[in-house]
Amino acid sequence: MDAIEYLTDQHREIDSLFDQIETAARTRTKLRLLRKLVDLLAVHTAIEEMIFYPAAQDAGVQELLPRAFEEHLSAERIIAEIVAPGGIGAEAAARLRVLRERKRQHAEREEEELFPRVRELLTPDQIETVGERIAKVADQLMGPGVGVRERIAARRALA
């Protein structure tokens, strides 16, 4: 499995979830989609920080990583502000729009700067090996019975 394609596919899935939340008519549907989005963001951040970024650093692109880590931290703060009240009112919707824009910019930066550099510096076999590790950890973190708090705690413990 190609690590860069896997992460790019997750970027598209995240963007799709933002669209679905925005257009959902029922509050219950919005909340279900929001939980799914928060879970996916937690897992995506975890696999990037635990697996992909270390591989990128080993490949020699460490100058691009501090900004990526800061963007993850900023997104986590916004997610915490959205999830804390437990609803999807006007304030949460506004924060969700900010989160969407920041995640869009983050994905764009990765896809235009980081991913091409990593693809240049790692062999196809290395990218496949990283992708296999990413997929395995993502599957474990998205497994049944694992909540978002556990996903974030696991990411921080393993980072």
Q: Domain ranges in the chain? A: 3-158
Q: Please give the pLDDT value at position 61.
A: 87
Model pLDDT for residues 38-81, shown as the tens digit of each residue: 989 999 999 999 999 999 988 788 898 999 999 999 998 898 88
Q: To which residue do tokens 């764009």 refer?
A: 108
Distance CA 56, CA 71 (A): 17
Q: What is the pTM of this model?
A: 0.88
Q: How far is CA 110 from CA 8, 50, 113, 138, in A?
A: 9, 16, 5, 19
Q: Please give the pLDDT value at position 149.
A: 53
Q: Please give the pLDDT value at position 123.
A: 95
Model pLDDT for residues 18-42, shown as the tens digit of each residue: 999 999 999 899 999 998 999 899 9
More confident residue, 20 or 154: 20
Residue of 21, 22, 43, 14 lying closest to 147 (CA atoms): 43
Question: Which pLDDT band holds residue 120 (cuts at 50, 70, 90)?
Answer: very high
Q: How many Cβ atoms from other residues are within 10 Å of residue 109's Cβ?
A: 15
Distance CA 98, CA 96 (A): 5
